Copies of this chain bind each other. A is one copy, B any other.
Amino acid sequence: MTTITDVARAAGVSTATVSRVINNTGKVNELLAERVRGVIDELGYQPSRLARSLRTRRSRTWAVIISDIRNPFFTDMIRGIEDVAYKNNYAVVLCNAEEDDSKVASYIHLALSEHMSGLVVTPTYTHRIDLSPVLEEEVPLVMVDRKVEGYDFDSVLVDNVWGAEEAVEHLIEGGYRRIATIGGPVETTTGYERLLGYKKALQVHGIDIEEQFVRISTFREKGGYEEMRFLINLEQRPDAVFVANNLMTIGALRALHEANVAVPDEIAIIGFDDMSWSSLLRPPLTAVAQPTYELGAETAKLLLSRIDGYTGPGRQVVLSPTLMVRESSKPKLKSR
């Protein structure tokens, strides 16, 4: 491994000069600089990121801590972040927290310990997460998708209330009245807000909320499966279900198929999160599509501006989802 000292010796200059050439800092005689660059090429020298980070206390890397790598929502979002990062010469490392708070904490520690210059976090739960080290080290951090209460970081969010409301509204307009929901943990902003939107739509239309119809679970496939089974087994089944994320929707659909419940004739379904294969499901799935790529890109832009020195109160970017209407929520046949 060739070091800056090797380069300096070969070029007959000091390491300081080499450093200045590499970083375009300070003034260097163009002739000398040219010679140094020649040697660098010749030796294939590449600065050690480690030593550099140790010295400058900043590494040109962002850590993106996501709560579930298997969720396509996050992987799409990551693409948005990466594109902006690469354009600005940052490397991105992904950390998979598996919806586990302690893993989030340990990855945050990792990122700070490696002096990474930016942090993107999709929080798992709103409590129980201590971000004070991030504040102490003054490392820019942006939250995506979810927020953590009690901190004033920049955040990029989706209008979950509105998205959920639109979905349920669409069901009501289609003639459905016994509408259930399978929601995520209310300790997450996404879980809480989507539930809120569900309730709001029902209230606006003067439909009572049946307690049995509000099923709270994890955001995992298994939860969706189990809660849908519960709903199917009710004496008075719902005639439609709004499911608050993609993985739970898969579980819910599996339960319906297994029990031979016809969709949408017996129970209509709307999911949150559109996926490339939503239209290939039986029946094609109506879903609230989130602007995943843009979510990531906006996040990266906020992060960049913080790294570039912007200080000021936390900013919130809220993007709107879109309802993709397909057959799983087809209006009921009714005399009009």
Contacts and interface: CB of A to CB of B under 8 A. Distances in A.
Interface of A: 1, 46, 48-51, 53-54, 59, 61, 69-70, 72, 75-76, 78-79, 82, 91-96, 98, 106-107, 109-110, 113-115, 137, 221, 250, 253-254, 257, 276-277, 279-283
Contacts of A281: 277, 280-282
Given A49-B110, A54-B54, A114-B49, A257 B280 contact: yes
A257 B282 contact: no
Given A50-B54, A61-B110, A254-B280, 20 more contacts: A48-B54, A48-B113, A49-B114, A51-B54, A54-B54, A69-B75, A69-B78, A69-B79, A70-B72, A70-B75, A72-B72, A75-B75, A91-B107, A93-B94, A94-B95, A250-B276, A250-B277, A253-B277, A277-B281, A280-B282
A243 to B, nearest CB: 13
Interface centre among A78, A114, A221, A281 (most CB of B within 10 A): A114
A257 B279 contact: yes
Minimum-distance CB pairs A-B, first 4: A282-B282, A94-B94, A93-B93, A49-B113
Contacts of A51: 54
Given A78-B96, A137-B1, A280 B50 contact: no
Contacts of A82: 96, 98
